[in-house]
Amino acid sequence: MADLSVNIGKLQLKNPVMTASGTFGYGLEFADFVNLEDIGGIIVKGTTLKPREGNPYPRMAETPQGMLNCVGLQNKGVDYFCEHIYPQIKDIRTNMIVNVSGSCCEDYAECAARINELERIPAIELNISCPNVKQGGMAFGVTAEGASAVVKAVRKAYDKTLIVKLSPNVTNVADIARSVEDAGADSVSLINTLMGMAIDIEAS
């Protein structure tokens, strides 16, 4: 059989196939459909420092081209992940990677620090498309300065493989990519959600 192994810095993958965060839950939900250990890496759903309820319903809309969604990072927080989810996924023989989100640099760093303590989680994917509450709600990832700041904060707290998921909703994604590389990212993930809108023209 062909050797399909690849590496992201120090992170070794048996093949380059990885799931996208938010689409594959914690992996366990799909165990009946696919052998999880055949996948090079599983990026689990977004995890934040504190629990998040997510956006109000409706959260999804079908379009002729596919689907729009605005789930809003619903999750039970990093402590719940460490105590309840991690024990269920730590023995899956592939790279289990946690997507980390936040609303300020300190939240990102603290969430990453707690995941750093989990022996069987070799990497995180940093979601910098989140709104920066200290800067009026503009997403971290839309400016080189904002992206760099959050990556630097996380890099100080996290010593494993750091993947940064870039926002496509920018004027020059290459500038953002260079800024996160300079700040300590090991790789970038292209790309997070494109903005979209669905309008029901029949609704009164």
Which of the residues are catalytic?
A: 130
Amino acid at 54: G
Strand extents, DSSP E, the chain: 6-8, 11-13, 41-47, 60-63, 66-69, 95-100, 123-127, 161-165, 187-189
Instruction: Tell me phi and psi for residue 20, to 5 degrees.
Output: -90, 140
Picking from 84, 70, 146, the residue whose alpha carbon sits closest to that of residue 126 is 146
**Secondary structure class of 79 (helix, strand, coil):** helix
Check the CA dihedral 124-126-132-134 and report its sign.
positive
Say if CB 123 and CB 160 are below 8 A apart. Answer: yes
Helices (H), 92-172: 105-116, 144-157
